[in-house]
Amino acid sequence: MSNGVEIISRGERGFEAIQRAAHVNALLPTERPDAVALPRSEAEVAAIVADAAASGRRVSVRSGGHSWAATSLRDGGILLDLAHLDAIELDAENLTARVQPGVRVARLAAELVAAGVAFPVGHCGAPGVGGYLVGGGLGVNWGVWRPAVSSIRSVRLITATGEILTASATENVDWFWLVRGAGPTLPAVVTSFDLQLRPLPGDIRVTGWTYPLDSLPQVGRWITAASHELPPRVELPIVLAGPGRPGASPDDEPFVVGVTAIAYARDAAESAASLSPLADGADATPISRLQPAPASFAELHIPVDDTYPEGARFLADTFWSDHDLSDALTLLTDLVRSAPSGKSYVLASMPANGAGATLVDETETAFSVHDRTIVTVYAIWDDPTDDEANALWMDAVAAALAPITTGHFLNEADIRRHPERIAASFTPTAWERVLRLRARFDPSGVFYTFPID
């Protein structure tokens, strides 16, 4: 089956190392494939899938290994590691690009800036573009640019028979709908994405405030009121964090609420005008205040990456809500203080500053659940003996948010422990269509999908 493709079988030297090195999360499931294949071309990918289908072997796909749930790790079969499919072709004049799935977000952002263009890349630099895009792509400036799946013009993909197809709005349209948001439920391998680029913003300005966690009610009221005046070009992530947060010292306030505002504008004047509704801050005394300062598009991922310490163990879960951000966060104040690890944190925002429910259309993409507020919770710890305590804490957070939860975001939902999150990451109509298309496109189940079968 090799046909010159690098293949590492279970039990061979380097097999376990490639599982652990490829995944950001040290908390890995016990499942392991029979072999890992590292193709270097689309033709090699197609040959591997065709051979697997003919021999009755199943296939899982990994583009970067950033999935907190390690969705590519399954028992048996062959794992397609797309790390070597990492080409980027930019056409800055026509604002288009062809990008392969193994390209990392940080590298793509740097090359875009060098060419003077932009794209709604992810907030974190480590993920492979493949997993990021197929899962929906909640990227930078998504209030204006919408989730990144909306900027996919076409894809090349390998079906369960090893056939190579192009899918777009006019060709293989069911595949095109499914690819844009199906995430780890997709019964195919995407080998390249044709993307619609954007002009690089002339000015990106970042400002921020840090308050004691006890000030959360005041912060919530301030942010909710300001959201009515903020243009969608301003991103406003809110973080509830503990004593293990990056840069914290023993003398610092142990629990804080951090507010960051990022404006994507034509020039400094437009940035200043965009941020002006936040000027007064919350009705509380801040611990620190970052005055508006210019930022590089290629470096926006760095402070986010710093919150994911290397070698740590992670659980992550996401919750959409039709409530204002302040309603969601006030449910979690006591839980943040009770987290078993001081490194754990909660990230929340109102995409498009309250207009989030308008940003996706289930007739256009499989990515179909998107609401007013999103809350993402990360449990981060080091000691394996703390696994159960952190899992129980995550479940307590989910229970607290359950009364206002309208769905989940598939790429960062806790789908191994809670497979019901998968269907809840789609509208009922979209999920029915996903299941119908999966049965049609891969009736023999060549590709591993989720829920685990």
Beta carbons within 10 angstroms of residue 12's beta carbon: 11
Extents of the domains making up the chain: 6-81, 88-199+432-441, 203-423
Beta carbons within 10 angstroms of residue 363's beta carbon: 10
Which H/E stretch holds residue 48?
helix 42-55
The DSSP string of 162-208 is: S-EEEEESSSSHHHHHHHTT-GGG-SSEEEEEEEE-EEPPSEEEEEE
Token duo for residue 287: 């611990």
Any idea what the Cα angle at residue 317 is, between residues 125 and 30, rounded to 5°? 85
CB contact set of 147 (below 8 Å; sequence gap of 6+): 120, 136, 137, 138, 139, 359, 360, 367, 370
Q: Pick from 136, 348, 360: which is nearest to 257 by CA?
A: 348
Q: How far apart are CA 238 and CA 66, in angstroms?
A: 22
* Tokens 């119908």, residue located: 436
In order along its 453 residues, the chain shows pLDDT tens digits of 456 889 999 989 989 888 888 888 999 999 999 999 999 999 999 999 999 999 999 999 999 989 999 999 999 999 999 999 999 999 999 999 999 999 999 999 999 999 999 999 999 999 999 999 999 999 999 999 999 999 999 999 999 999 999 999 999 999 999 999 999 999 999 999 999 999 999 999 999 999 999 999 999 999 989 999 999 999 999 999 999 999 999 999 999 999 999 999 999 999 999 999 999 899 999 999 999 999 999 999 999 999 999 999 999 999 999 999 999 999 999 999 999 999 999 999 999 999 999 999 999 999 999 999 999 999 999 999 999 999 999 999 999 999 999 999 999 999 999 999 999 999 999 999 999 999 999 999 999 999 887
Q: How far apart are CA 207 and CA 209, in angstroms?
A: 7
Any bridge partners for residue 235, and if so which? 262
Any bridge partners for residue 313, and if so which? 381
Q: How far apart are CA 256 and CA 444, in angstroms?
A: 51
What CATH topology corresponds to 6-81? 3.30.43
Q: How far apart are CA 23 and CA 130, in angstroms?
A: 15
* Tokens 């912060």, residue located: 219
Q: How far apart are CA 15 and CA 1, in angstroms?
A: 18
- Cis peptide, bond prior to residue 451, ω within 30 of zero: yes
Any bridge partners for residue 453, and if so which? none
Token duo for residue 188: 């195919």
Domain 88-199+432-441, second-level architecture: 2-Layer Sandwich (3.30)
Q: How far apart are CA 319 and CA 373, in angstroms?
A: 8
- Compute CA distances 200 → 195, 261, 316, whole Å: 15, 18, 31
Dihedrals φ, ψ of 245, to 5°? -65, 155
Global pTM value: 0.96
Q: How far apart are CA 163 and CA 55, in angstroms?
A: 16
Beta carbons within 10 angstroms of residue 130's beta carbon: 25
Report the relative pairing of strands 59-62 and 78-81 from DSSP bridges: parallel
CATH classification (class only), 203-423:
alpha beta
User: Could you check whether 6-81 and 203-423 share the same CATH topology?
Assistant: no
Q: Pick from 168, 39, 74, 22: which is nearest to 447 by CA?
A: 74
Q: How far apart are CA 321 and CA 323, in angstroms?
A: 5
- Compute CA distances 28 → 311, 380, 417, whole Å: 11, 13, 12
What is the four-CA torsion angle of 296, 297, 302, 304, rounded to 10 degrees?
130
Which H/E stretch holds residue 218?
helix 216-227
Report the relative pairing of strands 78-81 and 35-38 from DSSP bridges: parallel
Q: How far apart are CA 32 and CA 53, in angstroms?
A: 19
pLDDT recorded at residue 3: 63
Q: How far apart are CA 46 and CA 44, in angstroms?
A: 5
Which H/E stretch holds residue 235?
strand 234-235
Q: Pick from 452, 362, 370: which is nearest to 410 by CA?
A: 370
Q: How far apart are CA 440 and CA 356, in angstroms?
A: 32
Q: How far apart are CA 235 and CA 243, in angstroms?
A: 25
Q: How far apart are CA 281 and CA 296, in angstroms?
A: 24
**Residues 192, 219 contacting (CB under 8 angstroms):** no
